[in-house]
Amino acid sequence: MQLLEERIRKDGLAVNEHIIKVDSFVNHQVDPAFMQEMGKDIASHFSGRGVTKVATVESSGIAPALMVSLAMGLPLILLKKQPSKILNQDLYQTVVTSFTKETNYELTLSKKYISADDHVLLIDDFLANGETATAAIRLIRMSHATIAGLGVLIEKSFQPGREKLNAQGIEVYALARIAKLAENQIEFMP
């Protein structure tokens, strides 16, 4: 999406070769009108595929996922992060390891909200190592629902997320694909 690349060039900040900050319009301050345009683009890419629900992992995925679900006229499911295991028969649970944050947490989903009849579109702001998305897919598949794909705003293509997801048969649709980062330098995929 040309508009997102332009916005990243204007308002994004490449901190170093690993991290880009988009705090001014994606995940600290949010630009709702721009988020809605991005949501419409992802919704239109996945339209006609029989999606029944949109899902995301809290918290930065919520803004884009809400816009996608609004554009598709579908419910949004928030996969919740919990610090420790709470034994509960009404929940699906799986452990996620974040390499970036060096933490483990439990991702949870109520059995009430996704069932075997669902075809779920997963949305997030960033795709980096793909650990979060892999855990979300594992969790959703516990309900025997199927996965329509993963839509993200920004993919860091120099990290292995896309390959990891493609290897599990998951299509990845990214609005902007970053090939390389360096301090104050951002290169997109051609």
Q: Would you tell me which residues interact with ligand G4P (CB under 6 A)?
A: 19-21, 27, 57, 59-61, 98-101, 125-132, 156, 161
Alpha-carbon torsion (121, 165, 59, 45), positive or negative = negative
Between CA 188 and CA 190 the distance in angstroms is: 6
Backbone angles phi, psi at 27, to 5 degrees: -130, 20
Task: Pull the structure tokens for residue 135.
Answer: 């855990």
Q: Which residue's CB is nearer to ligand G4P, number 66 or number 112?
A: 66
Q: Which residue's CB is nearer to ligand G4P, number 130 or number 149?
A: 130
Q: Which residue's CB is nearer to ligand G4P, number 52 or number 160?
A: 160
Q: Which residue's CB is nearer to ligand G4P, number 129 or number 146?
A: 129
Work out how close the CB of 176 gets to ligand G4P at its nearest, in angstroms, rounded to a whole number.
12
Work out how close the CB of 150 gets to ligand G4P at its nearest, in angstroms, rounded to a whole number.
10
Task: Pull the structure tokens for residue 48.
Answer: 């006609």
Q: Which residue has the tokens 């006229």?
A: 73
Beta bridge partners of 106: 82, 95
| Closest residue by Cα to residue 99 from 152, 180, 156, 183 | 156
Q: Which residue's CB is nearer to ligand G4P, number 16 or number 47?
A: 16
How many other CB atoms are there within 10 angstroms of residue 27's CB atom? 19
Work out how close the CB of 89 gets to ligand G4P at its nearest, in angstroms, rounded to a whole number.
26
Work out how close the CB of 124 gets to ligand G4P at its nearest, in angstroms, rounded to a whole number.
6
Work out how close the CB of 169 gets to ligand G4P at its nearest, in angstroms, rounded to a whole number.
18
